[in-house]
A and B are shown apart, each in its own frame.
Chain A
């Protein structure tokens, strides 16, 4: 299972992507439980705002696009975990 987080936008407009292969992590079961617990189907469209980041998060079969202000709670936790796994 693979998790891909792409961040686009921001004032710089530079796209960055972080990726995690769950089975290669030291705690894959914890990762899997966490991913399954995310509210994938509850994401609503957000209004675009100048220079804010936009996040596209993919973990088959799921894919969501979140505005920066929507990256809270478990979504923020996910982004931070994926970035940390990439040494960011």
Chain B
């Protein structure tokens, strides 16, 4: 069993800043941030050379990360805004960090689940917020009219109220909120291209950590967890339990209006399509199931060994923007071997999971 890794991540390779944030840092005209601004300017100057070396695939490491203003690492900094049914962001600020709960369940749910996500990433992986640098967590609720969606727009989480017929409000499920925040983490790390297999990995990683947020908050072991994404999101009128099942992809719903859950659970059923950016929400069922199989094989809490293997893979140097399933499988196996030894239980569980879902052949 691994010892969890509480506290701040002291490895600078995990503090990766995208160019737009570097530009913002570089423009800071405040003496308190002088060192950070200088480091950002220096990094921007190096940008083209580094991108050439990396084939333009990865944002680069920002070595001046720890010069940002004093703040207690790991503390949440949440702000919830209310779009009031409009499609304009950010909306009216309705709750800031430390303010008490109000009467709006969407606001309270968003606030609580942002905190739960921060708690998972900080206490288990030592990651301070989305960017690893304590980026404030901003969310907007009541976006649009009967809006059937939630998304990460590159800066904030946005949640619709659902139509009330098929979907409830999207804040109702902690796994959905964890999913959206993890898109932010991916953006700041491997930055997987949102199309085809790399896009399906981007989606799967959000499902994995969305599920872990829920399990960690509820104190559920792998065996106790539902492994559902979006539990509670469907209204009672829908024949289904959730949006997706990581344990059994393709079984989450079977409804007259929505049809049957189309997710495949192995490469034998891989879906080729031009829709959904090449089926990113469909083929994500394959790596989702691989993660479940690893967690099931190892037992205990999935955020420990399995979560750490996936997290280190996401934030390490083994992935490129266009990594496919095979590359991700090899990277997770290498991470498992590095953390727990070649031929150990974790390494074998990872290899076997990828063989079971048809990504590896067993001869690797």
Contacts and interface: CB of A to CB of B under 8 A. Distances in A.
Contacts of A9: 275-277, 280-281
Interface in B169-220: 170, 176, 179-180, 183, 187, 194-195, 199, 202-203, 206
Interface residues of B, number: 33
B148 A12 contact: yes
Helix, strand, loop or mixed for chain A's interface? loop
Interface string B266-289: 000000001111001110100000
B170 A11 contact: yes
Given A48-B195, A51-B180, A54-B277, A11 B154 contact: no
Contacts of B148: 10, 12
A85 to B, nearest CB: 17
B243 A11 contact: yes
A9 B273 CA distance: 12
B151 interface: yes
30 contacts: A6-B275, A9-B275, A9-B276, A9-B277, A9-B281, A10-B149, A11-B151, A11-B176, A11-B180, A11-B230, A11-B243, A12-B281, A13-B203, A13-B244, A13-B276, A13-B282, A13-B284, A14-B258, A15-B275, A15-B276, A48-B194, A48-B195, A48-B199, A49-B151, A50-B203, A50-B206, A51-B151, A51-B180, A54-B275, A54-B276
Interface of B: 148-154, 167, 170, 176, 179-180, 183, 187, 194-195, 199, 202-203, 206, 230, 233, 243-244, 258, 274-277, 280-282, 284
